[in-house]
Structure 1
Amino acid sequence: MKTKTVAIATLGTVAAIALGYALYFDQKRRNDPDFRKKLKREKKKIAKKAKQSADTIKQKVSETLEAGLEAVNQEEFPTSVDEKEKFFMSQISAGETLCAQGEEHYFEAAMCFFRAQKVYPSPVELIMIYQKTVPEPVFQLVVGMMTLEHQKRQDGFYKEFPPEDMNVKIEDIPEGTNGEGSTVMRKGLVVTKDFEEGDVIFVEEPIVSALNTKLEGGDFCNYCLKDITGDKVECANCDQVVFCSQECYEKANEEYHQYLCTNNKTNENAASSQEQAFLDYSKDKNVKYPYLIARFLATMVHDEIEKAKSGVTDGYGSWDHVDRFRYLELAPTDQNMKELKLIKELLGPKVTGVEEFLTEERFLMLKGKILFNAYSVQSIGKAEKAIEKSTELHRESQADLSSVGSALYRATTYLAHSCEPNSKIEFADKSHKLTVKATKPLKKGDELNTSYIQLEDKNTEQRRNQLAELFQFKCVCPKCESD
């Protein structure tokens, strides 16, 4: 009999035996209760052993990744561009060589590729290249170390922030239960010592702020939002913005204005530029949040450049803060998509990575974070100046003060809402610098809250309806619950 015939015959015999056993097994399973019980017990034993085996493997992999990450983090990395480039190429070359030597060298290879991404300007882009070019087990090890490093950063964030001198810390606060009966937790700001009514709890500068667009170029500083009572400092290249001091001008230009300036003093074609189109849209619609988002993205780039100059690779930047903020769900409306397009056209040619970073999903999330968390900078009395009100959403509680702009804050954003707040927001020097004051005595461990809306002349139903409509939550503060 030929080999092929023997193989087919053997396979046929095995298949017949297997089919016969399957029929016998199915009959026993259906008709024999003791057999079913025994089968169930065996399944549990097998599942338990499989879980134990999987847990053991997972633990060993985790320990290996932990050791690798710890070893890399103990090393010193180059800081200059030339040194980084040489280091990157040497690690890539070493990783490729180790991969070629076989599986026993895969972990060492992964360590090399992991080191290389530490000095690469766009780690996400590099990971996509790795996925296509390195062996799958090596790629998974690199991703594993990156994930572990990210998790450690996540876990360490609230240990470092807020700093002790702010007199507050961020804790998990229970907020009711979900449909399954589990406790829902949120982040809240609690005081770390006692305060009396009227005490200043902390003062905070914003991550980013923006002036109401119709006030640009008038009496308010583009950088700190302060009402300018003395001499104004103008931009050297445009007449669209003014500043209260040379210091504010230099900070603005370094952080964001260099990317947003229309250059209409120096460029005869400025009227048809992307910068002018962006400014015209913002003024026509009386919206400042597209500008706030553009400033934030530019500030992120500035932060990374400063970190690279100093050689600091760890620490938390602006995005680490904003990424943790709550946000409102937004739909991709025509207006939102128009704003996304304008921002990409404005920053895309100037800021590397903006096109890839600012996806539709991320833009909507970022705008949703601003809408939920931005505070109105209420620094001018309504009797002092007539200021056209913006229609954009922000937290605003003072009925007798006008808003000149909006700002995002690292710590203040964690203040909960209450219709009977124990703290209030002030802008003492009439700039975007914010002060949080106690409105009643506070004990160490008390959660801080403020009002997101103007409370005057509103009953419980009106307050709850406004909060639900604007901020998408039902108020369950003691005042609303007792009323």
Structure 2
Amino acid sequence: MDIEIQSIDNIKGKGLFAKKDFHAGSVIFEEDPVVCCQFSWNAAYGYKACDHCLRPLETAEENARRLSAKPELHLPYPNLCHTDKSTITYCSLCGIHYCSTKCQTTAYNQYHRTLCFERKSDIDDHPLYQLNEMWKQMHYPPETSTIMIIPRILATIQQAVNPEEAQAQFLEFCHRTVNEDSKIAHKFLGEKFVDQISTLHNLLVKAMKPDGISHFLTQEGFQTLIALIGTNGQGVGTSAISEWVTKSLQQQLSPEETVKLDQFIDKLYEDMDSHSGSFLNNEGVALYCLQSACNHSCMPNAEATYLHNNSKLSLVALTDISAGDEICMSYLDECTLQRSRYSRNKELGENYLFTCTCPKCELQAHDPNVTSDEEEEDDEMDDMSE
């Protein structure tokens, strides 16, 4: 491969390094997730995605109609939508839908055989259903993860040809002490829901047979799994309408047609924003082996994206990267990256238990230790006094 994982030091541990030069905009690598799961509320609100790979199950036109609440809407260039509804299939026992028999078979062989509800009439009483409902009551949109990826992790271990090897793969994501796991788990759940961790734990224990995973079903083991997804979970987003828009704008059109298309897309996004707000994508969380080896930088030289409109991750270079350079991405969103060094490190410390020493943070090392909100308040006071 054109990248490699190297040991750095006792603080950072490992990192991902380039073995060749990459130009800005080029794909550094692509990988499928070890496991992936749609967000709970995202699924509940009718965002139709393959239960295994998150590929959209709606056509772009159906997607646009639902998000804009305009059932008569027609998209131009419908041939640019790549959703093939003829390949959609579902589990005959629990009714879960997949984009293809390939995804259904892969899911069944990896984890679904263990997690299938078997009979739809039993769903309401099933511990996994109750676990999902409890989680939804604790975490309303905007969602950043879902606890339902944990049963998939455990079922993947149980169904593996070599369970010990599968377990070792997941343990590669864990590099913390028991106390650190507990701290991350509490932050992940939110302070007002910390007391309910035992309820979530008990529901998981009821749902899963202990075969080969009993140590993960202890209180400490459960906190380790929560910390694992809290620090390594990567957000996944897919969208039939977004893919259609991208392909529409890549067409060779006349100036008049281009203006007409731009106006149509602007109005479409205005209508979708009015009805659905910013929640436009099928969203979920996944674990990736290579991506998880990327350390954070407040000046990232790479970012994760989903060029195939499913859970296959593409790491794309944001800047030119030379052979031997460390490849870093941001663990913070774009808005947070613009905040002060103190604010950035406050969030990194709370969620990932480390302090960033990237070039941007080193350059701002002597800045005042105040949050960006405090800076804004000071600026407002200065404006008022002038």
- TM-score greater than 0.5 by the shorter chain: yes
Q: Which has the larger radius of gyration?
A: 1
Mapped contact 1:225–1:431 kept (Cα < 8 A): yes
- In structure 1, runs of 5+ residues without a counterpart are 1-164, 175-182, 309-315, 390-400
64, 71, 91: which one aligns with 1:235: 91
Equivalent position amino acid for 1:318 in 2: A
Task: Give CA deviations for 1:337-360 in whole Å, capped at 9, x if unaligned.
Answer: 222211111112xx5233355222
164, 167, 172: which one aligns with 1:324: 172
Could you tell me which residue of structure 2 aligns to residue 298 of structure 1?
155
Could you tell me which residue of structure 1 aligns to residue 346 of structure 2?
465
How many correspondences in the alignment?
A: 285
Q: 1:10-49 to 2 correspondence within 5 Å?
A: none
Could you tell me which residue of structure 2 aligns to residue 222 of structure 1?
51
Mapped contact 2:40–2:146 kept (Cα < 8 A): no
In 2: Cα distance, 1:272 partner to 1:186 partner: 44
Task: Give CA deviations for 1:392-450 in whole Å, capped at 9, x if unaligned.
Answer: xxxxxxxxx85701111111101011111111111111211101111112222111101
Q: Does structure 1 residue 475 correspond to structure 2 residue 330?
A: no
1:270 CA drift (Å): 4.2
Q: Secondary structure at the match of 1:173?
A: strand
Could you tell me which residue of structure 1 aligns to residue 290 of structure 2?
411
1:259 CA drift (Å): 2.3
In 2: Cα distance, 1:299 partner to 1:376 partner: 20
RMSD of equivalent CA atoms: 2.8
5, 13, 25: which one aligns with 1:186: 13
Equivalent position amino acid for 2:19 in 1: T
Mapped contact 1:233–1:242 kept (Cα < 8 A): yes
In 2: Cα distance, 1:387 partner to 1:251 partner: 34
Q: Secondary structure at the match of 2:298?
A: coil
The 1:387–1:361 alpha-carbon spacing in structure 2 relative to 1, beyond 3 Å, is farther
The 1:454–1:356 alpha-carbon spacing in structure 2 relative to 1, beyond 3 Å, is closer
1:221 CA drift (Å): 1.0
Task: Give CA deviations for 1:345-382 in whole Å, capped at 9, x if unaligned.
Answer: 1112xx52333552222221121111011111133469
Q: Secondary structure at the match of 1:442?
A: coil
* TM-score (structure 1 length as normaliser): 0.54
State the identity as a percent: 27
Q: Does structure 1 residue 173 correspond to structure 2 residue 173?
A: no
Mapped contact 2:302–2:328 kept (Cα < 8 A): yes
Structure with the bigger percentage of helix: 1
1:482 CA drift (Å): 0.8
1:291 CA drift (Å): 1.4
Mapped contact 2:132–2:147 kept (Cα < 8 A): no
Could you tell me which residue of structure 1 aligns to residue 234 of structure 2?
375
In 1: Cα distance, 2:199 partner to 2:52 partner: 25
Say which structure, 1 or 2, has more relative contact order (CA 8 Å, 6+ apart). 2
* TM-score (structure 2 length as normaliser): 0.66
Task: Give CA deviations for 1:124-154 in whole Å, capped at 9, x if unaligned.
Answer: xxxxxxxxxxxxxxxxxxxxxxxxxxxxxxx
1:190 CA drift (Å): 0.7
In 2: Cα distance, 1:446 partner to 1:283 partner: 41
Mapped contact 2:34–2:286 kept (Cα < 8 A): yes
Q: Secondary structure at the match of 2:332?
A: coil
In 2: Cα distance, 1:426 partner to 1:472 partner: 25
In 2: Cα distance, 1:212 partner to 1:387 partner: 17
Could you tell me which residue of structure 1 aligns to residue 36 of structure 2?
209
